[in-house]
Chain A
């Protein structure tokens, strides 16, 4: 690995400041955990992107989940959604107040809960990117096949490539290259990111998550910058192909259709989300039991207005540039979603990057 570190130094030497964006939250955490930031050349800066599904989920979605939880539904969710603050409260607080919120590791667990509790209605909080959406689609298909009528989805799945297109269209996002999300690319295929190179002339590499794999991908990006090239290098060939997981893509399009979606801090991004096709409307809780319009009590707290998660997610500011970071906003009492998820940019900065160990 030392050879890679030396190569990075050689490639970066003599160049101005280079800002590379790691899109995926898993990368953000892996980079911090491995200590890569400390061995990078001084002029290479890593900025984190919008690749943490919990972080890009809007307050409005959390508010809805809480509202359903209070209506005696069983809410089944991935654990890191629990503490995400909505406008005024979180699912963890709803749970402490008596709501039935259960942590699952797969949407298929929610299917099991539905079968075990035939008299209750279960809502699975379907958030995530291309990585988790296929299992959610498969769960809906399985529920239909088994005739399960008490399992519903509250959907807010998002697509990564359109978000990157949006970021590059935003003149304020100054990025010199992308470390592309390996897990997403397993499903979409590396080719789904080709537009970054062809339309935006952006050097990119799909990378794995082990320390060495990340260093290899970063080297690829710097090599392209060095040669004045732009392409999508696939440095995660053990699992990522050009066309991706076709079976997963098929299941996805069987259940979902592409729609505009609202991202925290970025607003509505065209064709960046998934919604259930009409034939699956019976599994869409918002169609089966719509909530009344948002009550006035859900006006965001003043602290939330100062939160800069939106800019953090676009790579415009670092977490430490937010006035709330580490003070009003900490993992224990998070104001913004980026401080909540284990893979949230702010949480990673707080946990690994906010302090230094001298010895």
Chain B
């Protein structure tokens, strides 16, 4: 084991988890942190924070600013809260282009407006040339928990259904394309979007949704493995029902990526009671960010802590926790 931080420590996979459990948690441990959800619940409030280092800073479908607002809005929303107030911390590298900064700030303002959140405090620091890469952004957010909603792994039980809000892998593919000049069809762009509206509509028709997660780093594979472990259940997916764009699948085939492990920035995974699955899907389909939503699997009592995938020819294989970095600096 290396005694230095590797890129994979930040990739949302096994090394990230190791870092968290061996260094971060023992130092800060408390009951609220221990939940390890995307946001912390404190009384009637939810709070979260995230830092953004994506490269390139402008990509098809978004930019680092839009990502920074959406990420925090989404983390609050999947905690079962209505996002209200955000802080923004910007670290700029000496020599960074003014126009680029203006564009990023305008994009943050636009998406904050769409999401109905206010940016109420912030900070700016500048470091010398070479001491950062253009711009890094941190956002933190506070939201109000919705009454009667309890998003918790403890609520998950066998028979519940697993939903995803749309096509997987779009964000990671768009970033890769931007970074490496891959020429992809216009349809392949980052899915970066504020999902608070969609989530609120879902919770309005079914407050007993057991789990909501945004499938960011590590993709669906990481999120479902975390859920399966936290809830001590098995999750069985149906490969043919998982929505993936043809172009994205093609890129994955060429580069050897598993689309289930690719990052998304505008997709939620929901674990919902079986009897309300249809009506939740119906409201999702009505929302622009959920129009491709699909029922992709179910919770089973066997194989606790594991995720399985039934393939198109009927075999069932394991979907493992991603081990490390697929695409660095994806968000």
> Is B2's CB under 8 angstroms from A357's CB?
no
Measured as residues with beta carbon below 8 angstroms from the partner, the interface class of chain B is 35 or more
Partner of B312, one of A34, A38, A330, A359: A34
> Is A359's CB under 8 angstroms from B7's CB?
no
Bitwise, A194-210 to B at CB < 8 A (1) or not (0) is 00000000000000010
> Is A33's CB under 8 angstroms from B256's CB?
no
> Is A38's CB under 8 angstroms from B2's CB?
no
Provide the bound-state CA to CA distance between A351 and B236, in Å. 16
In the complex, chain A residues whose CB is within 8 Å of the CB of B328: 103
> Is B315's CB under 8 angstroms from A357's CB?
no
In the complex, chain B residues whose CB is within 8 Å of the CB of A299: none
B5-20 with Cβ < 8 A to chain A: 5-8, 14-15, 18
> Is A35's CB under 8 angstroms from B311's CB?
yes
> Is A359's CB under 8 angstroms from B308's CB?
yes
Provide the bound-state CA to CA distance between A325 and B164, in Å. 34
Nearest CB in chain A: distance from B184 CB, A: 13
Provide the bound-state CA to CA distance between A16 and B18, in Å. 46
Provide the bound-state CA to CA distance between A38 and B317, in Å. 9
Bitwise, A320-357 to B at CB < 8 A (1) or not (0) is 00000000001111000000001100000011111111
Query: Given A33-B258, A343-B256, A359-B300: A39 and B315 within 8 A (CB)?
Result: yes
Cβ of B255 < 8 Å from any Cβ of A?
yes
> Is A29's CB under 8 angstroms from B311's CB?
no
Partner of A37, one of B6, B180, B315: B315
B201-249 with Cβ < 8 A to chain A: 234, 236
> Is A96's CB under 8 angstroms from B6's CB?
yes
Provide the bound-state CA to CA distance between A262 and B207, in Å. 62
Query: Given A35-B311, A36-B315, A105-B180: A96 and B2 within 8 A (CB)?
Result: yes
Cβ of A260 < 8 Å from any Cβ of B?
no
Interface-side segment among B90-98, B99-107, B143-151, B318-326: B318-326
In the complex, chain B residues whose CB is within 8 Å of the CB of A36: 313, 315
Q: Which residues of A contact B (CB under 8 A)?
A: 1-2, 5, 26, 29, 32-39, 80, 83, 92-93, 95-97, 103, 105, 109, 209, 211, 215, 330-333, 342-343, 350-359
> 17 interchain pairs (CB within 8 A)?
A34-B313, A35-B310, A36-B313, A39-B315, A83-B8, A95-B6, A96-B4, A96-B6, A105-B255, A109-B180, A331-B323, A331-B324, A333-B1, A353-B317, A357-B234, A357-B317, A358-B234
